[in-house]
Amino acid sequence: MRSDSRLSRMLHALIHMDRLAGAATSEVLADMLSTNAVVVRRTMAGLRDQGLVRSEKGHGGGWALARPLDQISLLDIYQALGEPQLFAIGPSTDNPTCLVEQAVNAELGAALATVRGQLLDHFAKVSLGDLARQFDEKLKQGGHLPPHLQGMQRLDGL
Amino acid sequence: MRSDSRLSRMLHALIHMDRLAGAATSEVLADMLSTNAVVVRRTMAGLRDQGLVRSEKGHGGGWALARPLDQISLLDIYQALGEPQLFAIGPSTDNPTCLVEQAVNAELGAALATVRGQLLDHFAKVSLGDLARQFDEKLKQGGHLPPHLQGMQRLDGL
DNA sequence: TATCATGTAACTTATGAAGATTCATGAAAG
DNA sequence: CTTTCATGAATCTTCATAAGTTACATGATA
């Protein structure tokens, strides 16, 4: 099973959007993410519904942040995406009659629930602003600009 | 993405095997797990290669534990299965040139690596014997026997 | 009114576990 | 020695879902 990259992609996209002067079209974001504009709209729709980003049609339209990066946590994004399945492993039957299987499901389910809680707690504590600052660090330490940032305005932090 | 149930199924199967008098054929195990005998052989192959179970051909053949349940941890099984992918989420690109994406991958990767470590630590501490005892508890507390255990010998713990 | 951009439906592709079929191999029973 | 039973393994199909694609409607701006 190929892994779900929606969370990763939205983090990537939103940080870029913060760096851009105006609204970013789905097409531009799709290029940044090496994907398709429809995939961008589809994925971004959840964030819009949760008030994290805004979209505008027509000339000069596109996507823009609805709040500062520091006021958006990784958990906000994860939840806006509909809390996609975290684990690739799971029980074979959800409500087994076999007591052995019930014991297995209980143990495994509890273990997964615990680490899920830990991960989401962490997501709640990390903001997109934190990630953006980590990017700025990388840049200072001799990183080169990616193609889609070269010759761009409002590259704050440089 | 449908989740990978191999770990769950192997835990289930091995506890049953401990309860059975002789060797269990792939067919019998497949019935217990509501699956196919070939799936059982395919999944069990890794456990055999790691010396957790033994298989015998011919009359009276089948699968048997190679060690006591208390000497098999959940981590042993997970590793014998080839350490299947734990998470359903992940990066969209493995080695991105974009520094923003690198920062996102670093943060997300570190968070996932941390909880993975916590989960595997837990798996190392839980043995199949522990799970079997939890099953025995359920049984004492008014549980009924699953169809494939009714009328069976060597139901230790009853 | 022409252009640009989102919104959305519908379809195809890619991936990997799971399921199923088939035959070879080897062990035990008769 | 032959039959039966079981694993071993190759090969194919099925299934679920994110991702990718195509097409068109809707609305905003120049």
DSSP string, B47-84: HHHTTSEEEE-STT-EEEESS-GGG-BHHHHHHHTT--
User: Binning pLDDT at 50, 70 and 90, where does residue B1 land?
Assistant: low
Q: Over pLDDT 90: what percentage of chain B?
A: 78
Residue of B95 and A61 predicted with greater confidence? A61
Residue B1 beta carbon within 7 A of nucleic strand D: yes
Question: What pLDDT is attached to residue A96?
Answer: 87
| Cβ atoms B143, B149 nearer than 8 A | no
User: Binning pLDDT at 50, 70 and 90, where does residue A151 land?
Assistant: very low
Q: Over pLDDT 70: what percentage of chain B?
A: 89
**pLDDT over 60 at A157, yes or no:** no
User: Binning pLDDT at 50, 70 and 90, where does residue B149 land?
Assistant: very low
Q: How far apart are CA A110 and CA B123, in angstroms?
A: 12
Separation of B78 CA and D19 C1' (Å): 29
Residue of A nearest to B141 (CA): A99
Question: What pLDDT is attached to residue B143?
Answer: 54
Share the mean pLDDT of chain A: 89
Determine the straight-line distance between the first and last CA of chain B, rounded to whole angstroms. 39
**CB-based burial, A82-110: b 16+ in 10 Å, e otherwise:** eeeebbbbbbbbeebebbbbbbbbebbee
Q: How far apart are CA A145 and CA A151, in angstroms?
A: 10
Which A residues, 26 through 55, put their C-beta within 8 Å of a C-beta on chain B?
A: 32-35
User: Binning pLDDT at 50, 70 and 90, where does residue A158 land?
Assistant: very low
Nearest protein residue to D20's C1' (by CA)?
A36
* Average pLDDT rounded to a whole number, residues A112-138: 95
Token pair recorded at residue B116: 């993975």
For residue A73, the cross-strand partners are: A127
Separation of B17 CA and C24 C1' (Å): 27
Nearest protein residue to C7's C1' (by CA)?
A41
Task: State whether A103 and B9 contact (CB < 8 Å).
Answer: no
Share the mean pLDDT of chain B: 88
Distance from CA of A150 to the nearest CA of B (A): 11
Q: How far apart are CA B8 and CA B4, in angstroms?
A: 9
Handedness of CA A78, A79, A81, A83 (dihedral sign): positive
**pLDDT over 60 at B96, yes or no:** yes
What are the residue ranges of helices labelled H in chain B?
6-19, 26-33, 37-49, 74-80, 99-125, 128-140
Residues A58-87 have pLDDT tens digits of 999 999 999 999 999 999 999 999 999 999
Task: State whether A105 and B8 contact (CB < 8 Å).
Answer: yes
List domains and CATH numbers for chain A: 6-149 (1.10.10.10)
Lowest mean pLDDT among A116-120, B44-48, B94-98: B94-98
Question: What pLDDT is attached to residue A1?
Answer: 57
Token pair recorded at residue B127: 């043995």
User: Binning pLDDT at 50, 70 and 90, where does residue B32 land?
Assistant: very high
Lowest mean pLDDT among A81-85, A111-115, B143-147: B143-147
User: Binning pLDDT at 50, 70 and 90, where does residue A10 land?
Assistant: very high
Question: Touching check for B86 and chain A: CB below 8 Å?
Answer: yes
Separation of A32 CA and C6 C1' (Å): 18
Q: How far apart are CA A100 and CA A106, in angstroms?
A: 10
Q: Over pLDDT 70: what percentage of chain A?
A: 89
Q: How far apart are CA A22 and CA B65, in angstroms?
A: 65
Residue B56 beta carbon within 7 A of nucleic strand D: yes
Q: Which nucleotides of C are covered by protein (CB under 7 A)?
A: 3-10, 14-22, 25-29
Question: Touching check for B114 and chain A: CB below 8 Å?
Answer: yes
